[in-house]
Amino acid sequence: MDISKSKRPLFIILLLIFAGEAVFVLPFVLARIFRPTFLEVFNINNLELGSCFSVYGVVAFISYFFGGSLADKYAPRTLMAVALFMTAIGGFYMATFPSYFAMRLLFGYYGFTTIFLFWAPMIKATRVWGGQDRQGLAFGFLDGGRGLVAASFGSLGVMVFSYMITMDVSKASLLDHQEAFKYVIWASSTMIMLIGILVYYFLKPLSANIETFENQKKIYTLENFKSVLKYPTVWLMMLIIMCAYVGYKTTDIFSLYAKDVLGYDDIGSAKIGTYLLYIRPVTGIAIGLLADRTRASLWIIIGFLIMMLSSLFFASGMISDNTIYLFIISVIFMAIGVYATRVLYFAIMEEAKLPLAITGTAVGFISVVGYTPDIFAGPMIGVLLDNSPGELGHQHVFAVMAIFSLVGFCAALAFSIITKKNIIINKKERL
C-alpha cells in the first residue's frame, strides 16, 4: 500500500480533518464544552444525558458491524457527504429543544449518520493518504487536526453564546440560555452542512487512489470477516480502543468539574472545556511524528501509563479551588495521555500488517467492541456523578478511568510484543 508524495495532497487530509470532527460536534462536542448549560437547556441530568449517549452507542454498535463492509464497496466522499448532511439536519431539529424521549431518538439517529455512513470511510481514507511510511503522521494529523476543529467549534460556540446572552450569565433565565444556545446549534449545523458540500466535490482524487491500491479487486464480505478474524492483533486492538475511549469519554466532565469543584460559571466552565481541546492538535501531530520514527504501539503504551497516573491524581482529591495551577498541570498531562492513545489506535493497523482491501471490514469489526463505551460510559459516569454530587462523584469517575488505563496498558504491551515477534520472524524468512 505504497503512496507517493504526489498522490498525498495536503487538501485531502485537511478535508478529512474538518469532516472527521464536524460530524461529531452535535452529538458530542457541544455537550462536552457546554455540559452544565447543555443539561440545563434540555432539562436533563447527568444520567439522562448518559442514557442519550447509550442509545447512540447501541445504534453505533450495530452500525460499526455493517458500516465497515459498506466502506469497502462505495466511495468515501459519497458516504461521508451524506452523513454530514443528515447530521446537520438533525442539528436543526435539536435546536427546537425536544423532549427527553425525542432526544434519545435523535441520538440514535446520530449513531446511524456518524457511524454507519461515516466512520469506516474516514479511517480507510486516512490510511490510504498515509501510505506505508506515514501512518503515524496521517492519524496524528487526523486526530490532532480534529482537536483543533473541535476547539474552533467550541470557541465559535462560546463566542456566539456569550454574544447572545445580553446580561450577566448567572442572572440569565432558562429561556435566555435556551435562546442563546439555539444560535450555537444553528451555527454548528450550518458549518457541518457546508463541510459536507466540500467533501462531496473535492474528495474525488482519493477514490481513484483507493481503486489503484486495491487493483480493482473485490472481496466478498464474508471472506473479509474470515480474514480479519485470523489476526490476533485485531482482538487486542478492540481492547486498546475500548480502554482509550473510556479515557476520552471521561474528558467530557472537565467543564462540569470546573463548575462543581472549582466554582466556575457556565461561560468559564465552557472555556475550560474549549482550552482542553487545543492540547489535542499539538499532541496529535507531535505523537504522530514520533510514532513514524519508532513504533506506534510504544507511544500507546506510554499514553496509557500517563492516563493511569494522572487519573489516580484526580481520584485522590488533592485538587481544589485553591490549587488552580495544579488543576491546569494535571489536565494537561491527562490530555496528553488520552490524546496520545486516541491518535494512534488506528495507526497501528499498519504495524499489525492488515491488508488495505479489508480495512473497512477490520475497522467495523474492531469498533464493535472498541466503541462499546458509547453504550456504557455515559450512564456509568452519570450514575457516579449524580449519586455522589460534587467532588466525590468526580473522584469515583477518575478511579474507574485508572482501572481502564491499566487494562489498556496491558493490552498495548501484548500487542507490541506480538508485532515485534512477527517482524523478527519475517526478517528471518527473507534471509
Cell numbers given for 185: 446549534
Q: Is residue 159 part of a domain?
A: yes
pLDDT of residue 12: 87
What element of type H or E holds 423? helix 391-430
Q: Is residue 3 part of a domain?
A: no
Q: Is residue 325 part of a domain?
A: yes
Mean pLDDT of the chain: 83
Q: Is residue 213 part of a domain?
A: no
Q: How confident is the model at residue 217 (pLDDT cuts 50, 70, 90)?
A: very low
Q: Which residue has the higher pLDDT, 384 or 259?
A: 384
Chain centroid offset of residue 186 CA? 22
What percent of the chain has pLDDT above 70?
A: 86
Instruction: Give dist(CA 300, CA 71) in Å, integer.
Output: 26
| Poorest-pLDDT segment among 1-15, 32-46, 209-223, 283-297 | 209-223
Q: Is residue 168 predicted with pLDDT exceeding 80?
A: no
Q: Is residue 221 predicted with pLDDT exceeding 60?
A: no
Cell numbers given for 41: 437547556
Q: Is residue 223 predicted with pLDDT exceeding 70?
A: no
Task: Give the CATH number for residue 123.
Answer: 1.20.1250.20
pLDDT of residue 205: 61
Q: Is residue 204 predicted with pLDDT exceeding 80?
A: no
SS3 annotation, 174-219: HHHHHHHHHHHHHHHHHHHHHHHHHHHHHCHHHHHHHHHHHCCCCC
Q: Is residue 215 part of a domain?
A: no
Q: Is residue 214 part of a domain?
A: no
Q: What average pLDDT does this structure show over 151-177?
A: 80
Whole-angstrom CA distances from 307 to 60, 140, 362 are: 26, 18, 26
Q: Is residue 238 part of a domain?
A: yes
Whole-angstrom CA distances from 396 to 303, 377, 393 are: 21, 13, 5
pLDDT of residue 1: 44
Residue 322's domain comprises: 9-207+220-430
Q: Is residue 207 predicted with pLDDT exceeding 60?
A: no
3-class DSSP assignment, residue 45: coil
SS3 annotation, 140-184: HHHHHHHHHHHHHHHHHHHHHHHHHCCCCHHHCCHHHHHHHHHHH
Q: How confident is the model at residue 224 (pLDDT cuts 50, 70, 90)?
A: low
Q: How confident is the model at residue 427 (pLDDT cuts 50, 70, 90)?
A: low
Q: Which residue has the higher pLDDT, 72 or 127?
A: 127
Q: Which residue has the higher pLDDT, 196 or 372?
A: 196
pLDDT of residue 170: 66
pLDDT of residue 402: 95
| Poorest-pLDDT segment among 64-68, 160-164, 182-186, 312-316 | 64-68
Q: Is residue 52 part of a domain?
A: yes
pTM (2 d.p.): 0.72
pLDDT of residue 430: 55
Q: For residue range 177-203, what is the model confidence (pLDDT) as tens digits?
A: 889 999 999 999 999 999 999 999 888
pLDDT of residue 13: 87
Contacts of 101 (CB under 8 A, 6+ apart): none
Number of structural domains (the chain) is: 1
Q: Are 398 and 253 in contact (CB under 8 A)?
A: no
